[in-house]
Amino acid sequence: MLEHSRGQGEMHRGRGSHESVAVMYADKIGYVWADVNDVFVRLGVNIHSYPELAELVGLFGPNQRSRVRKCVEALCLESAEAGTVVFESSEVARNFQRVKRLMHTVYGPQNFNDFALLERAY
């Protein structure tokens, strides 16, 4: 668990045990889709204000559960084919990386105060 966090950077394989890499991917997948849910569902920010993000999120399904499931299925398939825990070369993995990068612009530190105010009003 000590090695799973990679911050805002890319998710790379090859560092640590299979378990630590799996924990890192689980963490990223869980946090990204929870952030999407927090901002665009719970706080009610209009996702269509971010057209590229709206399109990408739509590729993963209509809700947080289906989005997580799609990522986990793709991670398992890619890992089985590679013989190691990996989630980087499939189309799903590449689209997930794009969502992750875009969410850092939407839900990053520059917007933290705005979202904190919205959350208190909620």
pLDDT, tens digit (0-9, with 9 covering 90-100), for 58-111:
999 999 999 999 999 999 999 999 999 999 999 999 999 999 999 988 876 666
Confidence of residue 13 (pLDDT cuts 50, 70, 90): very low
Task: Return the residue matching tokens 């952030």.
Answer: 35
What pLDDT shows up at residue 74? Answer: 98
Does 5 fall in a domain?
Answer: no
Q: Which domain holds residue 80?
A: 18-121
In total, how many domains does the chain have? 1
Does 55 fall in a domain?
Answer: yes
What pLDDT shows up at residue 107? Answer: 77
Token readout for 14 is 């090859």
Condensed to tens digits (0 to 9), the pLDDT of residues 22-50 reads 999 999 999 999 999 999 998 889 999 99
Does 10 fall in a domain?
Answer: no
Between these two residues, 97 and 11, which has the higher pLDDT value? 97
What pLDDT shows up at residue 4? Answer: 46
Does 82 fall in a domain?
Answer: yes
Does 76 fall in a domain?
Answer: yes
Does 6 fall in a domain?
Answer: no
Confidence of residue 119 (pLDDT cuts 50, 70, 90): low
Does 8 fall in a domain?
Answer: no
Does 93 fall in a domain?
Answer: yes
The 3-class SS string of the chain reads: CCCCCCCCCCCCCCCCCHHHHHHHHHHHHHHHHHHHHHHHHHCCCCHHHCHHHHHHHHHHCCCHHHHHHHHHHHHHHHHHHHCCCCCCCCHHHHHHHHHHHHHHHHCCHHHHHHHHHHHHHC
